Amino acid sequence: MKKPPGNKISANVYGHVLFLILMAVLHAQTRLHAQTTAITADVNAIIATFQLDEEQIAELDQGEIVSFGIAEATPKELALGLAMYLAAPPAKLVEFFKDGDLAMIDPDVRQYGAIAPESASSAFSDFVFSPDQIDEVNDLLNAEADDQFNLSAAEIRKFAALRKNHPADDNKALAARVSQQYQQLLLQRWQTYREKGLNGIAPYARANGESSPAEELRQAALSSKLLAHFSPNLATAWLNYPAPLPAGTLEHFFWLNNTVDDRPTAILSHRIMLTSDAASVIVTRQFYVGHSYNSSHLIVGCLPYRNGSVIFYTHRTSTDQITGLGHALKRSIGREHQKERMIQNLEGLRAAVGAL
């Protein structure tokens, strides 16, 4: 699915997209696991866990978006939580989450595609580099072990071999060859993740060693108290994927082409969703990101509250770009960017639900 042309809006490395996790379950390949598992979350228990004070609760009751801190699991992680009250019943939100196609609302999402269980590289055929992106193409062909791209050592060698074997290609032919190689990369990363879960994610080669998105996502899952509130069984299965998911869980794989730092960015995502008549929880991990940040882990939970619903939203993103010299300032700036984008996304969700 391609997004119509529009103004190009650059995404900050810390700009996180709530809408990616709210895409239509009914519009893509999913796996439904038998009978529905009960959701056990309690609003007061979640409020106590994240230590929302009386002032924050009062602001929440008045419809304001309130933020709460969550412990960051690693020096590379940025983490934040938000809560918002909506004057809409949970059942309405559940249907909205199932039926809405919100990914394309986000201006940084250029393309989106579902990944069916038996997909081949053709599932990624719409992710292509155009001849006017030849600088990005050449940079890939000359990639090294650094943070310009998120590539394993083996993937770097494959692009180097492609450069060596086709030195005389014009820009159009070169862009096509690199696109095909990248599509194969996406297929292989999705296949190994689907077969082995976090253990199947190849590390990114860096000048000083490797970065492990697998370990980052493992720590994010272990540290995610919100998911454990909604369903401890789901939290355990999510950590141990491809262990069987609890009954009633909807599962969905998809790829995205986002604009990040004014560059095309391939992202592989795995999303699960568990709902009941009165509650829902959606979890997404981005287990491959082409550049700029390493991985991402998002949770959105919805529960009955007063005369409507309360939404809890937590987001953890890992990036090498907040380490090293000036790390404290980088982290502070990163958190602020993350908070701004998360608030923007919740405001968009409020507007979309209010329009129904």
- Residue 20 CA to residue 269 CA, distance in Å, equals 9
pLDDT at 352 over 90: no
Domain boundaries, the chain: 18-121+212-354, 122-205
Q: What pLDDT, on a 0 to 100 scale, did the predictor assign at position 338?
A: 87
Q: Are 177 and 169 in contact (CB under 8 A)?
A: yes
Q: Are 182 and 126 in contact (CB under 8 A)?
A: no
The residue behind tokens 């560059």 is 263
Q: At the top level of CATH, which class does the domain 18-121+212-354 belong to?
A: alpha beta
**Greater model confidence, 253 or 13:** 253
Q: What is the CA radius of gyration of the chain?
A: 20
Q: Identify the bridge partners of residue 312 per DSSP, sorted by sequence position.
A: 83, 301
Q: What pLDDT, on a 0 to 100 scale, did the predictor assign at position 23?
A: 42
pLDDT at 40 over 90: no
- Residue 274 CA to residue 33 CA, distance in Å, equals 10
Question: Which pairing describes strands 263-275 and 250-260: parallel, antiparallel, or unpaired?
Answer: antiparallel
Q: What is the pLDDT of residues 270-317, one digit of tens each?
A: 999 998 878 899 999 999 999 999 999 999 999 999 999 999 999 999
The total number of residues shown for the chain amounts to 356
Q: What pLDDT, on a 0 to 100 scale, did the predictor assign at position 22?
A: 44
CB count within 10 Å of CB 306 equals: 11
Q: Are 163 and 142 in contact (CB under 8 A)?
A: yes
Q: Which two tokens stand for residue 279?
A: 């509650």
Q: What is the pLDDT of residues 164-209, one digit of tens each?
A: 998 877 999 999 999 999 999 999 999 999 999 999 999 999 999 9
Tell me how far the alpha carbon of residue 226 is from its chain's centroid. 16
pTM of full prediction above 0.95: no
Phi/psi of residue 187, each to 5°? -60, -50
Q: pLDDT band for position 331 (50/70/90)?
A: confident
Q: What pLDDT, on a 0 to 100 scale, did the predictor assign at position 137?
A: 96
- Residue 234 CA to residue 211 CA, distance in Å, equals 27
Q: Are 166 and 160 in contact (CB under 8 A)?
A: no
